[in-house]
């Protein structure tokens, strides 16, 4: 064998060993790609199925979401309208709130004033209660006195009734007695009767006016002296005319006082005591005769 | 050269190496066939 043949044999040997080693390594550390492929294919089918389910679910979710979005839009519209209404209402309420706030401040100020007034009134009420108690005490005393006076009044009323009855009885008796007295031509007034016992005071006066009767003779005369001079009804005065122009004094008669004034009197002419002549204005009257 | 090898020469070390290389090639081929078998690409 030549040298080249030997080298080729060695090279062939080396290459054969390398081939065997490479084939052995491939066999030893190989991966079964087919099995892996089937596994991955199965996994892919499952994943595609999942994808389909997920897509269906996604469509459903999309539809429901769209519906929700539509509902939400409609609700947003309603809410927007409601918000506008509420905004307007809020503005009105704010305005009313401001007015109420002002009213509240006014009422608070008024309430404070009323509270001060109430304190003042309470103090005044206490004072009034004290005064009321004092007045009540006085009222009780007055009521007691009033009851006592009422009792006295009732007693006096009974007494008054008795006296009235006695008075009526006495009036009847007095009328009867007056009738008897008048029938005898006597004065019935006790005062006049009492004073008639005294003579008239000395005084002089004049005839101021004469009233004539149907026969043209004097019936009543008015004189210039009256009660201030001490005259009383029933007093009798003499009438006379002093002598003038050479004439003699003349006695004209008597007159009787029937009506009396402070500075004058009306007298009736006593016919049965009229003597000479007719009484005229300016004649003298006197009680000194 | 063929004239010189026409005579039967006694086997030497190189012939043994050739057999060894033949055995290695056969072993490698077996390994590759087993590999192909796992993919059903052999005798299928």
ipTM value greater than 0.85: no
Asked, for residue B40, whether it belongs to a domain, the answer is yes
> Whole-model pTM?
0.32
Sign of CA dihedral A96, A98, A102, A104: positive
Domain count, chain B: 1
Asked, for residue B4, whether it belongs to a domain, the answer is no
Average pLDDT over residues A181-194: 74
Domain-by-domain residue ranges, chain A? 34-144, 190-286
Residue B39 has which token pair?
Answer: 């993919």
Protein fold of A190-286: Elongation Factor Tu (Ef-tu); domain 3 (2.40.30)
Asked, for residue B43, whether it belongs to a domain, the answer is yes
Whether A26 contacts chain B with CB within 8 A: yes
Find, among A171, A268, A278, A154, the residue nearest to A221 by Cα. Answer: A268
Summarize pLDDT for A201-234 with one digit per residue, the tens: 888 999 999 988 888 788 899 999 998 888 888 8
Beta carbons of A20 and B39 less than 8 Å apart: no
Residue B30 has which token pair?
Answer: 């077996």
Asked, for residue B5, whether it belongs to a domain, the answer is no
Asked, for residue B26, whether it belongs to a domain, the answer is yes
Show which residues on chain B lie within 8 Å of chain A, measured between beta carbons. 1, 9, 12, 14, 17-18, 20-22, 24-25, 27-32, 34-35, 38-40
Minimal C-alpha gap between A46 and chain B (Å): 24
Minimal C-alpha gap between A3 and chain B (Å): 11
Q: Which domain holds residue B28?
A: 11-44
Minimal C-alpha gap between A44 and chain B (Å): 21
Asked, for residue B17, whether it belongs to a domain, the answer is yes
Asked, for residue B27, whether it belongs to a domain, the answer is yes
How far apart are alpha carbons A231 and A196 in whole angstroms? 10
Summarize pLDDT for A259-286 with one digit per residue, the tens: 989 999 999 888 765 555 678 888 899 9
Mutation target for B interface from A17, A32, A33: give the one with most B CBs within 10 A. Answer: A17
Contacts of B11 in chain A (CB under 8 A): none
- The pLDDT score that the predictor gives to residue B2 is 44
How far apart are alpha carbons A23 and A16 in whole angstroms? 10
Summarize pLDDT for A93-126 with one digit per residue, the tens: 999 999 999 999 999 999 999 999 999 999 999 9
Planar angle of CA A93, A98, A101, nearest 5 degrees: 120
Partner residue opposite A27 with nearest CB, options B12, B14, B35: B35
């Amino acid at each position: 064998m030549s040298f080249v043949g030997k080298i080729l044999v060695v090279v062939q040997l080396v290459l054969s060993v390398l081939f065997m080693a490479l084939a052995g390594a491939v066999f030893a550390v190989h991966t079964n790609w087919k099995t892996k492929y089937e596994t991955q294919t199965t996994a892919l089918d499952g994943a595609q199925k999942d994808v389909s389910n997920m897509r269906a679910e996604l469509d459903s979710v999309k539809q429901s979401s769209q519906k929700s979005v539509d509902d939400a839009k409609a609700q947003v519209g309603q809410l927007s309208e409601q918000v506008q209404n509420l905004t307007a209402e809020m503005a009105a309420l704010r305005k009313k709130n401001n007015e109420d706030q002002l009213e509240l401040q006014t009422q608070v100020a008024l309430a404070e004033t009323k509270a001060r007034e109430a304190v003042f009134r309470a103090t005044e009420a206490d004072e009034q209660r004290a005064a009321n108690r004092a007045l009540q005490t006085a009222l009780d005393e007055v009521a007691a006195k009033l009851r006592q006076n009422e009792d006295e009044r009732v007693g006096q009323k009974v007494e008054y009734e008795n006296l009235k009855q006695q008075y009526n009885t006495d009036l009847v008796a007095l009328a009867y007695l007056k009738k008897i007295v008048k029938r005898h031509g006597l004065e019935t007034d006790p005062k006049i009767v009492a004073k008639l016992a005294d003579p008239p005071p000395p005084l002089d006066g004049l005839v101021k006016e004469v009233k004539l009767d149907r026969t043209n003779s004097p019936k009543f005369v008015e004189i210039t002296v009256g009660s201030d001079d001490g005259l009383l009804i029933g007093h009798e005065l003499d009438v006379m005319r002093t002598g003038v122009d050479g004439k003699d004094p003349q006695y004209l008669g008597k007159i009787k006082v029937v009506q009396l004034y402070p500075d004058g009197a009306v007298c009736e002419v006593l016919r049965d005591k009229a003597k000479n002549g007719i009484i005229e204005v300016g004649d003298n009257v006197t009680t000194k005769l | 050269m063929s004239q010189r090898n026409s005579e039967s020469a006694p086997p030497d070390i190189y012939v043994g190496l050739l057999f060894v290389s033949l055995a290695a090639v056969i072993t490698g081929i077996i390994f590759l066939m087993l590999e192909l078998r796992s993919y059903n690409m052999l005798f299928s």
